[in-house]
Structures are given as C-alpha cells and as structure tokens.
Amino acid sequence: MGSSSLAFLFLSIQLFNLCNIQVNALSFRLNSVEQGVVKPSSVHLAPRPTLKHMLRSYIKIAWRNLWKNKTFSFINILGLALGMACSLLIMIWVQDERHMDRFHKNDSRLYRVMENQHYTGVINTYASTPGILAENIVKDIPEIELASQILWENTPLFTVGNTFEKEKGRFVQGDFLTMFSFPLKEGNPKTALKRPDGIVISQKLADKYFKGKDPMGKTIRIDNTDDVMVTGILADIPEASSLKFDFLMSYDRWQKANKWAQEWGNNGPRCYVLLAPNASIDKVNAKIKNYVKSKNKDSNVDLFLQNYGESYLYSNWDAGKQNGAESNT
C-alpha cells in the first residue's frame, strides 16, 4: 500500500472514531432522559455543523495526529513526496520519448523503407536497403514524391588551414533537407546538397574552422584527398531528433567511390521516402513489396514502409512483425 493511501486511511479512522464518540455521547444523553435521570430541558443537541466548521475540525484533528506521531508522519509524507516526484519524472520521460522525431513538418507522409529477408522458415527484418533504391523507386512509384538514401554516421578528417579534426556527420541525397525539417541558417535547402562537392555544416563547425568569418562558398579538405564547398549552415538540431549530425555531404559522391552500393544484391544505406498527399500506404506497400525482386531475380527481399515518427519507439521486429521498442536509426 502506498504512503498516500496509508495517510488517507489513518485520517479516515480518526474521523470515524470522532463521529463514534459523538454518537455514543448523544445516545447516553437520550437514554438518560428516557430513564428520568436527566430532564429533557437539560439535553441540548449541538447545532448542525457547517462545511467550514467541519473542514476546520478535520484539519485540526489531522494536524494533531501528525504532530503526535512525528516519526510515522515524516516517513509517510517523505514516501508520498518521493512517489509523486518519481511519477512526475516518469511522465516527463514518457512524453519526451513519444515526441521523438515528431517535429518534422511532413511527419504523416515521411516513411522509411524496411526489408523482410526470407530464409528457410525464417524472416529477418532490417532497415538496410540497396544503395540505389531511392533514385529508382521515386521514378517507378508515382505515390512516392521524394526519396533519399541516408548513410550511417561517418567521421572523416576535416582540414581548414591549420585546424583539423575528425567530425561526425552523414551522407545524404539532394532532397533530404526538403523531406526532413532540419532548417538552415544560411543556404537553400532545395539546392544545398544537389552538387556532388557541396557540404552543409553546423554552426559549431563554422565557428571552429572559420573563426567567425562567413563560411559560405569556402572549401574544406576531406581526408586529405578531396575538397568540398560549404553550401549551407545548419540551425541547431532539435533535441527531439534521433538523427544527430554536424555535417551533411552528398551521398552521390560517396556512392561513386563505393561500387558495391550500386548493386541490387547489396544492402547497407537506409532509404527514406516522402509520400504524395493522400497517398494510400496500403497501396504503396503492395506496389513496393516485390520491387527488389523485379530488379534482381535472385532476391529474397520484400519491402514495406514504416512511418518515420514511429520508427524510434517501434524498431524491434520478430518474424516480420513489429514487437517492441528499440531504436536503430
């Protein structure tokens, strides 16, 4: 039983005892009148108490009992306070988890492509997809308005003058900033990632490498091999985002250097799509189910879509069915 329940029970017992005493006293007086011990005129019934007087009396009785049993009262009040504090913290945490990745303007139309890989009696579900899926599926499925491959987190070496360090970021395709709501302080989200040598960096990296100067149009040396040009400055990534990065670079540039990602039989990059308004998710799922098989006759893959806002809490799969919460973005 919780501490609040114990306190309520304790107070209820005290009030019951008080009422019982008053009833017994009144019964004694009435019996005395009937037996002639006391004259009726000497029996005076107390006036009916008002709500204000009753509440005042209850509070006084509760206070006296609390003060009389200091140790017991302290333990109960402390337990009640800790219980309320823990409940509040859990509620805040649950609300925070439920709002993760829900801030995107296109939330209801934004989906990630999932794979069911079929083996003998076994179905394994992954978010990895062929590296050329996005560029093809957006052409072949009319209900898909935009699509973008997203690579896992990379840590290339950045060099500007005498400043160099490995930084964390992602390779994405040109429409990524149009699909997702990651605003830019500078640059055009529709064009910033269209050029293969373009890079969008955070304000932190802009301050670190360009020391307060305008970084737009400036170059950064990557892994001591290639130069990229700053085409945008990111605003702060919302805390409610499961995707964290300090830079975005062209996926197409990465893909050209990784031939394995240009084949339908290889998986790795994630694929995200933006459905057209009023598109039926069931119809789209039916169309894309055998899409990889239509490109690769030896494939054992079925595709389906999962809403991006749901993927943070619902990313654990068993035999092709969603069965729990585990983020694997």
- Average pLDDT on 47-73 reads 77
206 and 281 housed in the same domain: yes
Burial-class residue 80 by CB neighbours within 10 Å (0-12, 13-18, 19+): middle
The pLDDT of residue 18 is above 60:
no
48 and 116 housed in the same domain: no
Whether the full predicted model's pTM is greater than 0.85, yes or no, is no
Lowest pLDDT segment from 99-103, 109-113, 284-288, 294-298 = 99-103
Last residue in a domain, options 81, 98, 115: 98
Last residue in a domain, options 45, 72, 98: 98
Cite the beta strand spans of 20-162 per DSSP E: 110-119, 122-126, 128-130, 144-150, 157-160
What is the number of structural domains in the chain?
2
Pick from 179, 128, 141: which is nearest to 288 by CA?
141
On whether residue 273 sits in a domain, the answer given is yes
On whether residue 197 sits in a domain, the answer given is yes
250 and 192 housed in the same domain: yes
Q: What is the pLDDT of residues 181-236, one digit of tens each?
A: 999 999 999 999 999 999 999 999 999 999 989 999 999 999 999 999 999 999 99
On whether residue 235 sits in a domain, the answer given is yes
60 and 126 housed in the same domain: no
Confidence of residue 329 (pLDDT cuts 50, 70, 90): very low
Confidence of residue 11 (pLDDT cuts 50, 70, 90): low
135 and 160 housed in the same domain: yes
303 and 265 housed in the same domain: yes
| Average model confidence (pLDDT) across the chain | 85
Better pLDDT: 150 or 78: 150
135 and 46 housed in the same domain: no
On whether residue 329 sits in a domain, the answer given is no
Q: What is the pLDDT of residues 30-39, one digit of tens each?
A: 555 455 554 5
Lowest pLDDT segment from 59-68, 79-88, 115-124 = 59-68
Find the helix or strand (DSSP H, E) in which 304 lies. Answer: strand 301-307
218 and 282 housed in the same domain: yes
Last residue in a domain, options 80, 98, 116: 98
What is the extent of the structural domain holding 192?
A: 107-324
217 and 88 housed in the same domain: no
For 255, which DSSP code? H
Contact criterion met (CB below 8 Å) for 71 and 79: no
